[in-house]
Amino acid sequence: MGIKKVEFYKHNIGEEDVEALKEVVATPMLSQGKWVERAEEKLSKYLGIPHIVCVSSCTDALFLSLKASGVKKGDEVITTPFTFIATVNAIEYCGGKPIFADVQEETGNINSEEIQKKISKKTKAILPVHIYGTLCNMVGIDVIAHQHKISIIEDCAHALDTTGAGLWGLSCYSFYPTKSITCGEGGAVGCWHEDVAEKLKILRNHGMNKMAWKRYEGKYEHWEMEELGYKMNMTNLQGCLLLRQLDNINNIVATRKERYDTYYEAFRDNPKIRLLQSDKGSSKLYFSILVDGDKRDNIVWQLQDKGIGVVVNWRPVHLRQYYARKYGYKEGDFPQAEDIGRRTISIPLYSKLTAEEQKYVIKCVEDVIGGKSLHFATSPKRGEDNSKGTKRPSCRRAEEEV
């Protein structure tokens, strides 16, 4: 094939996007301004959500959503242990306590039956994550939320184009480089009530009630600090890129789904690979293969040796040092999340992935999983591949913010 390397991801920012930035750079207002407002309006139309508040990252979107929902010290928020750490960190930032509910074996999404078991008098919110773009059981979660009069905050970092996502409360989106559309860094909150949107806008901007760019467009007006806020606004540079990306989102999404389907057909009958369930309405943001957990690290290394960019999304949060130390979590506490975390590997999936590159990825995975080029060490030390006798970085370093 002549291919020696396939990156894990490639963003969609091109020459035309760079040209568009020149219009922003030619103005004095590089920080938040009209380009951000335009991006919010366009994203609102795309998602069908009346109010969009753009911020500096999805992590900030989660944090501000929790704050706007009244989460404070001593409150509990139920979420999944199988997610990127940002989901859980946002709860900690508010002084809340993350309460984990195990996931479904079939999808990797939080199990609504497990959520019900974790409800207490201190529960303030439920924070489901649509893993790899597959919608959680939101009907079941919504029933629980209404029954106990608690908030829902959806982590939609993987679910920008997932049918049914963003309908159940506040929803948080990511524009990190690995996502379908990107502005380098950036995030957004979708909300259904204008008063909540206004609160979020004040919180993202130091607690001030007037934006800098609006204060200086006309006659100067004094501003007020209504409450203690944060510096979490999106910039005009990011807003400009986001606008350009939204122009092409339908093509990007369609191509991703084609690539996803190709992988699915290639691996669906492989007895050494398990695939998580997805459906037609799911965002095809990532493609994860589940392999033998005892061999996963070696598989990651050997795919990297073949030039395939792969990441581990993710080892479960409750076993990270900080959370295990603070809350006393241990292996076996959430067996489904731990099983998927031991076995999962994410392989390249993006709209710029060529058919030839994808064929190469499939061939390499089949060669390695099939044992044609795989030699397992009997008892490898951490960070070492004994099959080659050379020091290697642990596959944990392949984990990315995704």
Among 391, 83, 197, which Cα is nearest to 91's?
A: 83
Q: In the prediction, which pLDDT does 388 show?
A: 38
Residue with token string 């009346």 = 50
Query: Tens digit of pLDDT for each residue in 52-92?
Result: 999 999 999 999 999 999 999 999 999 999 999 999 999 99
CATH class of the 250-398 domain in this structure: alpha beta
**How many other CB atoms are there within 10 angstroms of residue 70's CB atom?**
11
Domains 15-247 and 250-398 share a fold: no
Query: Tens digit of pLDDT for each residue in 208-267?
Result: 987 655 555 667 778 889 999 999 999 999 999 999 999 999 999 999 999 999 999 999
Q: In the prediction, which pLDDT does 3 show?
A: 85
Q: What is the DSSP string of 59-102?
A: HHHHHHHHHHTT--TT-EEEE-SSS-HHHHHHHHHTT-EEEE--
Overall average pLDDT of the 344-369 stretch: 97
**How many other CB atoms are there within 10 angstroms of residue 213's CB atom?**
18
Q: In the prediction, which pLDDT does 217 show?
A: 62
CATH topology of domain 15-247: Aspartate Aminotransferase; domain 2 (3.40.640)
Q: In the prediction, which pLDDT does 222 show?
A: 83
Q: Looking at 126-135, 202-211, 341-350, 353-362, which range is the least confident one?
A: 202-211
Contacts 24+ apart (CB under 8 A), 44-51: 44/190, 46/246, 46/249, 47/160, 47/166, 47/190, 48/166, 49/166, 49/171, 49/190, 49/191, 49/192, 50/191, 50/192, 50/194, 51/190, 51/191, 51/192, 51/193, 51/194, 51/196, 51/197
Main-chain phi, psi angles of 389, to 5 degrees:
70, 20
Q: In the prediction, which pLDDT does 32 show?
A: 79
Give residue 379's pLDDT band: very low, low, confident or very high (50, 70, 90).
very low
What are the sequence ranges of the domains in the chain?
A: 15-247, 250-398
**pTM for the complete prediction?**
0.91
Report the mean per-residue pLDDT for the chain.
Answer: 91
Query: CA 355 to CA 301: how far, in whole Å?
Result: 24
Query: CA 25 to CA 16: how far, in whole Å?
Result: 15
Asked if residue 108 lies in contact with residue 131, where contact means CB atoms within 8 angstroms, the answer is: yes
